[in-house]
């Protein structure tokens, strides 16, 4: 018969290895959680600076339009279509889109962020629809004769330019009023 004392070193080694494995597991889990938290913070910082830049560009664009046109709605719209649209950026948002829903504690915070970028896209669409109208209006002015009443130009282009400006202004005011969603 074998004595139990011969198995004690094996048992100590086995239990020591089990304890070391459990401690390593918890340390590794803690390290991964810390890395995920740091990644979330970094993603939010990158997107936050991107949003701040977009807000500054939008505010400067609106200021440029207002300084050139005064309060005339038709002039506001035609200046909007003739000035270059600032290079709004959504690269960080698109790059980290899969991580974003998990980066926020509340779903409403992510929805505000999504709404901000959707509004920026709406501004781009309105601007892209305004440019051809402004170009067509300027071409019509070039070929306008002395017999063409100015009312016709206003009827043909002024109303559509004013509508586009009103849409642009409404969305821009909403973005600037809500400010940075982060």
**Alpha carbon 142 to chain centroid distance?**
39
> What pLDDT, on the 0 to 100 scale, is given for residue 12?
87
Q: Decide: residue 61, CB within 10 A, 0-12 exposed, 13-18 middle, 19+ buried.
A: buried
Q: Are 109 and 133 in contact (CB under 8 A)?
A: no
Q: Are 126 and 164 in contact (CB under 8 A)?
A: yes
d(CA 156, CA 46): 45
Taking every pair of Cα atoms in the chain, the longest distance, rounded to a whole number of angstroms, is 124
Q: Are 90 and 126 in contact (CB under 8 A)?
A: no
pLDDT tens string for the chain (182 positions)?
567 778 888 888 888 899 999 999 999 999 988 888 888 888 888 888 988 998 999 888 888 887 776 666 556 666 666 677 788 888 888 788 777 777 777 777 778 888 888 989 888 888 888 777 766 665 555 444 555 444 444 445 556 777 877 888 888 888 888 888 77
The pTM score is 0.68
């Amino acid at each position: 018969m074998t004595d139990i004392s011969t198995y004690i070193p094996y048992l100590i080694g086995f239990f020591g290895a089990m304890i070391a494995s459990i401690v390593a597991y918890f340390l590794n889990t803690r390290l991964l959680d810390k890395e995920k938290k740091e990644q979330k913070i970094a993603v939010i910082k990158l997107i936050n600076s991107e949003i701040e830049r977009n807000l500054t560009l939008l505010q400067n664009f609106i200021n440029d339009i207002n300084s050139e046109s005064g309060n005339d709605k038709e002039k506001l719209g035609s200046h909007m279509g003739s000035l270059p649209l600032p290079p709004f950026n959504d690269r960080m948002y698109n790059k980290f889109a899969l991580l974003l829903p998990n980066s926020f504690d509340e779903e409403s915070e992510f929805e505000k962020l999504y709404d901000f970028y959707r509004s920026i896209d709406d501004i781009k669409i309105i601007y892209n629809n305004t440019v051809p109208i402004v170009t067509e209006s300027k071409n019509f002015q070039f070929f306008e004769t002395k017999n063409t009443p100015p009312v016709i130009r206003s009827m043909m282009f002024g109303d559509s330019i004013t509508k586009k400006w009103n849409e642009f202004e409404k969305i821009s005011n909403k973005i600037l009023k809500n400010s940075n969603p982060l």
